Amino acid sequence: MEQTPTKGYQHYIFFLFGQNFSMLGSLIVGFTITWWLTIETGSAVVLSISVFLMFIPQIVVTPFSGVLSDRWSKKAIIAISDSLQAAVTFLLFIFFLFGINNVWLVLGINFFRASLFAFQLPAVQSLIPVMVPKKHLSRVNGFNFLFSGLIFTIGPLIAATLLEIFKNNVEQIFFIDIITFLIALIPLVLIKIPSRHKTVTEEATKKSFVKDFKTGLLTIKLIPGLFAMIAFAMLWNFIHRPWAVLMPYFVRYTHGGSALNLALLMTSAQVGSVVGSIIMSIKKTWKHKIKINIIGASLFFICQIPAILAPKGNFLLMIIALFPAWVLFPITVGLYLSILQTVVSKDKIGRIMSIDHMISMAIAPIGALLAGPLSEIMGIVPLFLVFAIIGIIQPLGIWFFTQIRQLEVLDRAIMMESEEIVEVEELTEPLQIAEIVE
Question: What is the average pLDDT value for the chain, to the nearest integer?
Answer: 77
* C-alpha neighbours within 13 Å on the C-beta side of residue 398: 27
pLDDT value of position 386: 94
Q: What contacts 2, CB < 8 A, 6 or more positions away?
A: 194
* 417 compared with 425, residue with greater pLDDT: 417
Angle at 220 between CA 199 and CA 241, to 5 degrees: 130
Stated as kind and residue range, the H or E segment containing 272 is helix 259-282
**Cβ 177 vs Cβ 74: under 8 Å:** no
pLDDT at 9 (0 to 100):
64
Quick one: pLDDT band at residue 2, thresholds 50, 70, 90?
Answer: very low
412 or 111, which is more confident? 111
Proportion of the chain above pLDDT 70, given as a percent: 76
Distance CA 263, CA 28 (A): 11
Contact 213, 63 (CB under 8 A): yes
- Enumerate the H helices of 98-195 as residue ranges: 103-131, 137-166, 171-174, 176-190
Q: What is the per-residue pLDDT across 11-23, written as a single tens digit (0 to 9) for each? A: 777 777 777 778 8
- With a CB cutoff of 8 Å and minimum separation 6, the contacts of 375 are 44, 242, 246, 249, 383
pLDDT digits (tens, 9 = 90+) for 301-358: 999 999 999 999 899 999 999 999 989 888 888 888 777 777 776 666 667 777 776 7
Residue 264 pLDDT > 70: yes
| Domain locations in the chain as residue ranges | 5-192+209-437
Q: Residue 202 has what pLDDT?
A: 43
Greatest mean pLDDT among 98-102, 232-236, 379-383 lies in 379-383
Q: Half-sphere exposure of residue 259, counting CA atoms within 13 Å on the CB side?
A: 23
Which of these, 127, 93, 140, lies nearest to 113 by C-alpha position?
A: 93
Q: What is the pLDDT of residue 387?
A: 94
Q: Which residue has the higher pLDDT, 287 or 235?
A: 235
238, 374 Cβ separation under 8 angstroms: no
Asked if pLDDT for residue 418 goes beyond 70, the answer is no
pLDDT digits (tens, 9 = 90+) for 358-369: 776 677 788 888
Cα–Cα distance, 153 to 76 (Å, whole number): 30
Please indicate whether residue 419 or residue 105 has the higher confidence score (pLDDT): 105
Residues 6+ apart with CB under 8 A from 125: 337, 353, 357
Measure the CA–CA gap between 327 and 219, rounded to whole angstroms: 32
* Record: fold of 5-192+209-437: Growth Hormone; Chain: A; (1.20.1250)
What's at 69, amino acid-wise? S
pLDDT value of position 332: 84
User: For 123-181, what is each residue's pLDDT tens digit?
Assistant: 776 677 667 666 666 667 667 767 776 777 788 888 888 888 887 677 788 888 888 88
Burial class of 209 by CB neighbour count within 10 A (0 to 12, 13 to 18, 19+) = middle
Residue 56: band (very low, low, confident or very high) from pLDDT cuts 50, 70, 90: confident
pLDDT, one tens digit per residue, over 196-215 is 544 444 444 445 556 766 77
Angle between helix 315-343 and 137-166 (nearest 10) = 140
Mean pLDDT to the nearest integer, 189-197: 64
Q: What pLDDT, on a 0 to 100 scale, did the predictor assign at position 385?
A: 95
Three-state SS for 12? helix
Angle at 359 between CA 353 and CA 363, to 5 degrees: 145
Rg over alpha carbons for the chain, rounded to the nearest Å, is: 22
Dihedral (Cα; 305, 309, 315, 316), 10-degree rounding: -70
> What pLDDT, on a 0 to 100 scale, did the predictor assign at position 382?
94
pLDDT of residue 180: 83
pLDDT digits (tens, 9 = 90+) for 378-402: 999 999 999 999 999 988 888 888 8
Contacts for 66 with CB less than 8 Å, ≥ 6 apart: 122, 126, 216, 350, 351, 352, 353, 354, 355, 357
Q: Which of 74, 88, 83 is nearest to 121 (CA)?
A: 74
Q: Over the stretch 134-144, which tens digit does the pLDDT of each residue have?
A: 666 666 766 77
